[in-house]
Amino acid sequence: MIDDEIYDAWAPRDSWWSPWVKPVLFAHLRQFAEPAPAEDAPEVDFSWVHSGECVAIVVDLPGALGVWYGLALAARGFRPVPLYNAIPAPAGEAARVDVWPIVGALRACAPRLQSFVLPPSAPPAFLLDSNRRGGVASLAQFDNRSISFPTDFPSGNLLRSRGFERALLVQRDVGQPEADLRQTLWRWQAAGVVSSVVAAEGGGSQVTLAVSKPRWTSLALWRLGALLGLPRGALGGFGGRLGGAVG
């Protein structure tokens, strides 16, 4: 598949959710020279979700695992929506967050994703890298930590108008969502979308989330505060060397 076909597989023109797909990693597909990873869809008990169920899923798992999880959800009627927003480090450089495996997984999963016949209205499964805000604290000169914004997701109003009154957060553990994600889930909650959390490999028991109002609820204030210290990439997304952005 050529790069445009891979992007179209993840963001088909007719899908309700394609306008939310982040194109950042797709701009680096050509640079991913390694063979497709041997990893495959995780062996997970998906009994907690029914095929085509009217629930918006947010997969917040580390690295490429989220992509493979998204592919497994696509087989169950969900439309995976990649929201990865960190750019990979240039060749030979160490990065705070290694996103090359995600690039590889996006490429490797595209043919199988394209083979699924999903309707435009297929419920969404938003894919995030749970390492996005931290990564490996090292001497890496390339800082590509990132955050997700409420603007990265459809609004609670839109979800409810399309019949989605439930959201399901898939994490490593059943705990509180990441601080940046809380901004989104709180807004969804305010609009009447109830969120639950489920552990990715925990047997499927769901815990309802009561998201408390974040300290900074104004979008402008939250953005300004959150963006301080995070380098932006010249091609979009987050990432740059100390002292200058890198495309």
Partner 1 sequence: MENLGGDEALVLVAAAAVAAVSTGRHLVNLLRVATRLRNRAARVSLAVLPLAAIAVLHLALTHVAAAEVRTAPIYQTLFEVVGVAWLAGAWALMPLTGLSPRDDVLETENPSAAIAVGGAWLGSFACYFAANIGEGPTIWTTLGPAALATALWFAIAVLHELASGAAEAVAIDRDLASGCRLGGLLAALGIVLGAGAAGDWVSAADTLGSAEHAAIVAAILAAASALVHRLSRPAPACARRSVAAAGVVPGTLYVASAITWAALGQCR
Among 114, 121, 141, 157, the residue binding partner 1 under the rule CB under 8 A is: 157
Q: Is 120 in the site for partner 1 (CB under 8 A)?
A: no
Enter the tokens of residue 153.
């997701």
Nearest distance, CB of residue 218 and partner 1, angstroms:
7
**Which residues have C-beta within 8 Å of that of residue 102, sequence separation ≥ 6?**
25, 63, 64, 66, 67, 84, 129
Nearest distance, CB of residue 26 and partner 1, angstroms:
6
Q: Please give the single-letter amino acid code of residue 72.
A: A
Enter the tokens of residue 215.
């300290």
Enter the tokens of residue 186.
């709180």
Enter the tokens of residue 16.
């309700």
- C-alpha 166/C-alpha 19 separation (Å) is 21
- C-alpha 157/C-alpha 161 separation (Å) is 6
Among 9, 15, 27, 86, the residue binding partner 1 under the rule CB under 8 A is: 27
Q: Is 54 in the site for partner 1 (CB under 8 A)?
A: no
Q: Could you tell me which stretch among 95-103, 110-118, 137-145, 185-193 binds partner 1 (CB under 8 A)?
A: 185-193
Q: Is 114 in the site for partner 1 (CB under 8 A)?
A: no
Nearer CB in complex with partner 1: 62/88: 88
- C-alpha 208/C-alpha 195 separation (Å) is 6
Query: What is the chain's length?
Result: 247
Q: Could you tell me which stretch among 53-61, 139-147, 194-202, 231-239 binds partner 1 (CB under 8 A)?
A: 231-239
Q: Is 239 in the site for partner 1 (CB under 8 A)?
A: no
Nearest distance, CB of residue 40 and partner 1, angstroms:
27
Nearer CB in complex with partner 1: 115/151: 151
